[in-house]
Structure 1
Amino acid sequence: MTEDQQASGATDTFISHLVELRNRVMKAGVAIILVFVCLMPWAGTIYDLLAQPMMSALPEGSHMIATGVITPFLIPVKVTLLVAFVIALPWVLYQAWAFVAPGLYTHEKRLVAPLVISSSLLFIAGVAFCYFFVFGVVFKFVNEFAPKSVSVAPDIDSYFGFVMTMFIAFGVTFEVPIVVIVLVRMGLVSIDKLKEIRPYVIVAAFVVAAVVTPPDIMSQMLLALPLCLLYEVGLLVAPIFARATRAPEEETA
């Protein structure tokens, strides 16, 4: 085979991969859009569900406010789009897996598939923990602390921004076991070393919690403590995962 033929074959392969990637992205995007369109009639109700933790903490008869002209429409649409993405996430992950799986060895598939699934479930678990537990504690504390002369009426845009920040913070925090597993499996850090730096991780957890959460000790504790516990979970699971995903040459070495 000549060099021109090799170059032509490589170009064709690259283009075919780009076409495959485009098709997978389009399928994932169409799924999100379809779910979004189906949910749009209930956009207001979906936002009400998101606002429920705050509304439960406010005095009876209180309401949120909207200061922007199109904010009452735009914010529920954003929330609905995010919910549509979460609902369509299994299909989106399947498309990503279908694109990369043909190029992976068997032991690599044993490594990637559990990581993708578990990282998605952990992120959703972090968001659920934040919504069902953390918000109730934090909003109740903040509103009870507010002076009696202050009428608390949160703006829906500000509330949306705060909620998204907290969701991301807790979702990423719950990914700590995955980070530990990847570090150990790739041979970047040993389990003994990770156990050795445990005190520094605990300090870092409280520093991170102080930065990304509201300035109250309750919300900081609610983020820092799960982070520390999940770090320990990662230390327990990492050796098991590393043994289960060894390549054949690693097993015979």
Structure 2
Amino acid sequence: MSDLPNPAAEPGEQTLLSHLLELRTRLLRAVLAVLAVFIALIPFANRLYSVIAQPLLEKLPEGANMVAIDVASPFFAPIKLAFVAAVTIAIPAVLYQAWAFVAPGLYRHERKLALPLLVTATLLFYIGAAFAYFLVLPTVFSFLTGISPEGVEIMTDISRYLDFVLVVFLAFGFSFEVPVAVVILGLLRWVTVEQMREARPYVIVGAFVVAAIITPPDVISQLMLAIPMALLYEVGIIATRILLRRREAETA
């Protein structure tokens, strides 16, 4: 059966069908991008897991190792990590397909603003995940291994460790999106810059509450999430003020 729109169909039906076909094409390309990266990473799955496990292995007592409780964990844990890594690496390609689908329906000023926000959001997510890996995880594991009771041997299951690390990566990756969220709220006129400034104390308290919920129960890791969130909120306010002034100058 042909994918071409039916010439006898109504104009509205042709438009809807063409949009659906375009959406299918974009989704297929996004999935193929993820699959291509995933297939390329499969031979390196064990090596990827060794890299992810390094922050914990460096803090374990001498002679201690990680364990695999489930029989299939040595296979599925690295494969799961490879898939998550593939999705993360392919995010630019996936976002490009989403952008290519919605861009024709946007006004010129909307396209001019949306693309930088999309790129910035992607970079901030990567920066948040890198911050978690290089700074937060070593600090957290130093604390957790340091408070282990005497006589208790630390043997972390590889699957549970992976789940813990992925949650931390996602938490910090999305937390670093605060400036983008602030800019969007400001440019849409849902919140003014003055209201953002007045809400600063509540945002700081909220950042510490969020940090207390999604980080391990130690003060250091909570501070390492709450303080960047508060600082990024300030960055969002500054960026919003600059963009609003630029918009006013263009419309003047």
TM-score over 0.5 (shorter chain) = yes
SS of residue paired to 2:58:
helix
Higher mean C-alpha deviation, range 45-54 or range 57-66:
57-66
Q: TM (normalized to structure 1)?
A: 0.93
Unaligned runs of 5+ in 1: none
SS of residue paired to 1:120:
helix
2:70 counterpart of 1:74: no
2:95 counterpart of 1:90: no
Matches within 5 A, 1:125-140: 125-140=127-142
Give distance in 2, aligned partners of 1:69 and 1:177.
44
2:182 counterpart of 1:186: no
Q: TM (normalized to structure 2)?
A: 0.93
CA 1:195/1:162 → structure 2, altered by over 3 Å: closer, same or farther? same
Aligned position for 1:242: 244
SS of residue paired to 2:70:
coil
SS of residue paired to 1:215:
coil
Amino acid in structure 1 at the alignment position of 2:100: A
Amino acid in structure 1 at the alignment position of 2:193: I
Find runs of 4+ consecutive structure 1 residues off by over 2 angstroms: 241-248
| Sequence identity (%) | 47
The 8 Å contact of residues 183 and 189 in structure 1, kept in 2 or not, is answered as: yes
Give distance in 2, aligned partners of 1:94 and 1:124.
16
Amino acid in structure 2 at the alignment position of 1:106: R
1:215 to 214, 217, 223: 217
Alpha-carbon RMSD across the aligned residues, in angstroms, is: 1.8
SS of residue paired to 1:57:
coil
Unaligned runs of 5+ in 2: 1-6
1:156, distance to aligned residue in structure 2 (A): 1.0
1:104 to 95, 103, 106: 106
The 8 Å contact of residues 107 and 247 in structure 1, kept in 2 or not, is answered as: no
1:195 to 197, 200, 208: 197
Give distance in 2, aligned partners of 1:106 and 1:243.
18
Amino acid in structure 1 at the alignment position of 2:174: V
